[in-house]
Amino acid sequence: MLDRLMGATAAITVVLASSFVGFAQNGKQAPQKGKAPAASGKAFDARDLSGYWDITKTGLAPGALNETSNNRPPMTPWGLEKFRQAKTGYDGKALGNGVVANEKDWNDPVLLCDPTGFPRIMWHPIPAGMRFAQTGEEMIQFFEDGRTWRDIWTDGRKLPGDDGELRWYGYAVGHWEGDTFVVNSNSFDESTWLDQYGSPHSDQMTVEERYRRVDRDHLEMTLNITDPKAYVGTWKGDKKIFQRLEKPRSVYNDFDENICAYSEVKQHGKAWQKIHP
């Protein structure tokens, strides 16, 4: 609905069923520098990411521009040319081209109700609700933004090769390394932006996410982007910290139907688009 383009409320993450064999840990841990404080004495399974999660203010580094990180590597000539084509109302300073005053000239794909793409959907620029559903063969990652989901396959399959089908949210596989859930993805359609500033990517982009439940109520995530066609070096993300919620904030205890409908875009016109997203 309209919330997608007006900065919907952010709720984050549930897992329905787990067939993974995890191990319980006691939440009493001494707080460590740069990490979330431990829950008060409540046991949890480090390999069970169940629960609703919300990104915390400390989940973004000081001065971060609400995206992967401010440490975007230099662009290749291909990436720079594509970046120069981006026109947006957001002044990212360190990341952006600068503000284009006339919204008629903005060409952010989400203004056309194109899918937000990954990893931008994580912070678009206000994070939409995120939910995990965990089964024996996959981890399903749901987002409130556009009623979208990602299949993260955990059944041992490999990522597609260079001839794989390109997708708005890529193709993802995951595995556990101790108590860390590692996700690798590729096959991204290059028409999406990486953030609201127009940072580009190519179909050669690969993404690595690492999720670790540090205690019952806190989840850490780091996300790194590698795209040799668009960037010189890996775009290393800041650590994000998520807080577990008892339930999503919808009155129905699920996600709002936060779908971008072009008919609504036309109905609300330029004034509505101006405050997008």
Instruction: Quote the CA–CA distance of 160 and 168 in Å, as a whole number.
Output: 15
User: Pseudo-torsion of CA 60, 222, 73, 112, nearest 10°?
Assistant: -70
- Give the rounded percent of residues in the chain with a pLDDT score beyond 90: 46
Q: 245: which 2 tokens?
A: 């919620």
Backbone φ and ψ of 240, nearest 5°: -105, 140
Span 172-201, mean pLDDT?
Answer: 97
Specify which residues 11 forms β-bridges with.
Answer: none
**Which pLDDT belongs to residue 228?**
98
Question: For 184, which DSSP code?
Answer: E
Question: Tell me: the pLDDT tens digits for 45-78?
Answer: 999 987 778 777 665 655 667 789 989 999 999 9
Residue 2 has pLDDT above 70, yes or no: no
Which one has a higher pLDDT value, 257 or 192? 192
Residue 246 has pLDDT above 70, yes or no: yes
> SS3 sequence, 211-242?
EEEEECCEEEEEEEEECCCCECCCEECCCEEE
How many domains are there within the chain? 1
Residue 184 has pLDDT above 80, yes or no: yes
**Which pLDDT belongs to residue 205?**
98
pLDDT band at 275 (very low <50, low <70, confident <90, very high): very low
Specify which residues 225 forms β-bridges with.
Answer: 207, 235
Task: Give residue 69's domain range.
Answer: 3-274
- The DSSP code sequence of 31-95 is --TTSPPPPSS--EETT---SEEEE-GGGS-TT--SSS-S-PPPBPHHHHHHHHT---S---TTS
Which one has a higher pLDDT value, 234 or 23? 234
| Residues written for the chain | 277
What's the one-letter identity of residue 275? Answer: I
Residue 14 has pLDDT above 50, yes or no: no
**Which pLDDT belongs to residue 24?**
33
**Which pLDDT belongs to residue 13?**
35
Most confident of 128-142, 143-157, 249-263: 143-157
**Which pLDDT belongs to residue 64?**
66
**Which pLDDT belongs to residue 268?**
54
Which one has a higher pLDDT value, 7 or 124? 124
